[in-house]
Amino acid sequence: MKNDIQEVAEGVELTDGFHLLMEALEMNGITNIYGLLGIPVTEIGRMWQARGNKFFSFRNEQNAGYAASVAGYLTKKPGVCVTVSAPGFLNGLTALANATTNCFPMILISGSSEREIVDLQQGDYEEMDQLNIARPHCKASFRINRTEDIGVAVVRAIRTALSGRPGGVYLDIPARLFSTTMSAEEGQKSLFVPVDPAPAQLPAPSAVSRAVELIKGAKKPLILLGKGAAYAQCDADIKALIEETGIPFTPMSMAKGLVSDTHPQCAAAARSMVLQESDVVVLIGARLNWLLAHGKGKTWGGAKKFVQIDIQANEIDSNVPIAAPLIGDIESCVNALRAGLKGMTKPAEWMGAIAERATGTKAKLATKLSTATPVMNYFNSLGAIRDVLKNYPDITLVNEGANTLDNARMVIDQYLPRKRVDTGTWGVMGIGMGSAVAAAVETGKPVVAICGDSAFGFSAMEYETITRYNLPVTVIIMNNGGIYRGDEANPEHQVSCMIFNPKTKYDQFSIALGGEGVRAETPEELTKALEASLKSGKPTIIDAIIDPAAGVESGRIGNLNIVSTIGKK
Ligand code: OXT
Ligand code: ADP
Ligand code: MG
């Protein structure tokens, strides 16, 4: 192969693929890599660290990938994950697909086998046609074949991940390229930084006027904030739009805190009412997918019109007709709306009705949160957690599970933008520990992960990653002994497929992996343990013992669970 030939004169200083890749990443502001090392990428980790950068080494690539994707979401720069070939690549691919689904910018870099062997299927070490396997699961799948192309490939990956709708990019590097050499001077010249990789995209003036007219004519307008709005990092503009127009808003789960859950215009506690009764809904960075019942049916009540702000033009009309599409970046669209809506009459009566409903719902919830039970349930345990977390508005909350997810989302207020990371668009279990690592690393602040016991199991071994890097992460495991519930009866001579070993002690697991471990059986014990953990900043698992009968099948999405039409046979 051409690459193998050293084409430079003797005495000329050389560089190689490893160094060019690292220099290209560094030049583009990447300082943290999440990954798992082995043939052929091991040297990247060692050299990356030796150069003063951070390599966060995981126990399974899937979790490293989740960490990279969350880093991308939190920083608006692509998170980078490095894996070995075939099996490592496939583990990482789940996370790359998840990043793309969630619109998080991420780059998965995998070492791969040599083309001549893969293409003839001659059985190389960890042989796999990774480039083509990755293709349907991300925005773009690129291979680098020549050292002089590394600079352009990295830039292309960054621009693809960030521009338009953000997402995942796969970068395939055949093993031999890492050690292929070229002139250091020429190599240096081949590296560069892209100009404006996520350019502003201004909405058309006619589209803005159409949306403005619709909103001005509404009697019961509603703003619905999605995680695209949180990602956009134009928090002050969105808050200003809400306050200047007086329109109530409700957040999707990861948009909680973009404008505080305690803001007087927050309609989260009257969610079903506002979805049903509103007449014009302004979607900002939220898709009308399953999480929003596809914009139709009884969730949405009577006739209504949608204004939809999104950067991806073909998202419009994906499920129902959109009366006023606003295609552009959220910051530009929101500010264009603000200009057009200046002086608009605030929907005071509508806001008043919502506030009344929300006050009633909150009072009902407050009673549940303070009602003691012989064994903790989701409400009194989460109530205790909520009261502690009020004093720590800038911790990141990571949340996964079914009942654990749905109830924590309902009970725990968020006060600041991008402080909640959860199972996202796919409702995927296993994002917990990877997300916790990334949130702690990227924000430099403490993290609390509230995980169902099933959910935690998907990434449990990464708790060792957390203790190894001594990250300020508190993991609260809502231990009800099973998926959804822990009280399912065993069939004859078998263990139920929905339950776990009731002897499992997650506090002891933490101690075994070098962290602190506390068992909490009452809300008071939970409060004490959480406060102590947050004060100490030490990695801690709190094993919160929850009544095995407290949960419901599939949490709040039981309607999606398919059951046999003819019953058990
Ligand atoms: O208005 P109404 O009356 O409707 O009330 C709403 C609000 O008004 C009110 N609210 C409030 N009240 C008072 N005060 C305040 N402040 C307040 N705020 C809100 O609360 C309600 C609810 O509000 P919400 O949450 O906003 O609205 P709602 O209607 O729930 O929203 C709808 C949705 C769809 C947007 C929302 O429900 C949502 O985001 N859902 C996401 C659900 C999800 O993704 N679930 C995870 C998947 S479940 C399943 O797939 C699981 N698996 C299978 C599996 C998966 N997922 N992945 C992989 C890789 N493998 C397998 C597994 C294995 S879950 C699972 C494990 C489960 O076991 P665990 O042990 O981990 O967990 P436990 O269940 O705890 O045992
Ligand atoms: P949620 O699950 O919170 O409802 P979604 O992930 O469904 O949110 O929707 C996010 C939407 O935001 C996607 O359609 C994506 O194209 C869009 N988006 C992401 N970033 C921007 C941006 N900067 N400007 C405009 N739209 C964006
Ligand atoms: Mg459980």
Note whether 473 and 440 are within 8 A (CB): yes
Q: What is the token pair recorded at 315?
A: 């998202």
Q: Chain centroid to CA 42: how far?
A: 27
Say how many residues make up the chain. Answer: 569
Residue 521 CB burial class (10 angstroms; 0-12, 13-18, ≥19): middle
Provide the β-strand partners of residue 399.
422, 450
Low-confidence ranges of the chain (pLDDT < 70): 1-8, 569
- What pLDDT score does 436 carry? 99
* Cβ of residue 162 lying under 6 Å from some atom of ligand 1: no
Nearest to 110 by CA among 197, 123, 71, 132: 132
281: number of Cβ within 10 Å: 25
DSSP-based three-state secondary structure for 55 = strand
- What pLDDT score does 569 carry? 67
The predicted complex's ipTM stands at 0.98
Residue 59 CB burial class (10 angstroms; 0-12, 13-18, ≥19): middle
- What pLDDT score does 302 carry? 86
Residue nearest to ligand 1 atom 4, measured at CA: 272
Nearest to 449 by CA among 424, 425, 473, 418: 473
* Alpha-carbon separation of residue 548 from 430, 517, 558 (angstroms): 21, 21, 18
* Cβ of residue 248 lying under 6 Å from some atom of ligand 1: no
Dihedral, 65, 288, 551, 488 alpha carbons, nearest 10: -80
Residue nearest to ligand 1 atom 17, measured at CA: 269
pLDDT digits (tens, 9 = 90+) for 237-259: 999 999 999 999 999 999 999 99
Q: What is the token pair recorded at 51?
A: 């150069």
Determine the distance separating the centroid of ligand 1 and the alpha carbon of 37, expressed in angstroms. 35
Determine the distance separating the centroid of ligand 1 and the alpha carbon of 269, expressed in angstroms. 15
* Alpha-carbon separation of residue 160 from 249, 438, 449 (angstroms): 32, 22, 31
* Cβ of residue 271 lying under 6 Å from some atom of ligand 1: yes
Omega before residue 40 within 30° of 0, cis = yes
Determine the distance separating the centroid of ligand 3 and the alpha carbon of 404, expressed in angstroms. 7
- What pLDDT score does 2 carry? 41
Question: Which residue in this structure is represented by tokens 């200046």?
Answer: 342
- What pLDDT score does 296 carry? 97
- What pLDDT score does 568 carry? 72
Sequential DSSP letters for 105-145: -EEEEEEE--HHHHHTT---TT---HHHHHGGGSSEEEE--
Residue nearest to ligand 1 atom 64, measured at CA: 402
* Cβ of residue 63 lying under 6 Å from some atom of ligand 1: no
- What pLDDT score does 8 carry? 66
* Cβ of residue 268 lying under 6 Å from some atom of ligand 1: yes
Residue nearest to ligand 1 atom 69, measured at CA: 452
Determine the distance separating the centroid of ligand 3 and the alpha carbon of 481, expressed in angstroms. 6
* Cβ of residue 17 lying under 6 Å from some atom of ligand 2: no
Note whether 283 and 226 are within 8 A (CB): yes
Residue nearest to ligand 1 atom 24, measured at CA: 410
Closest ligand, as measured to the CA of 224:
2
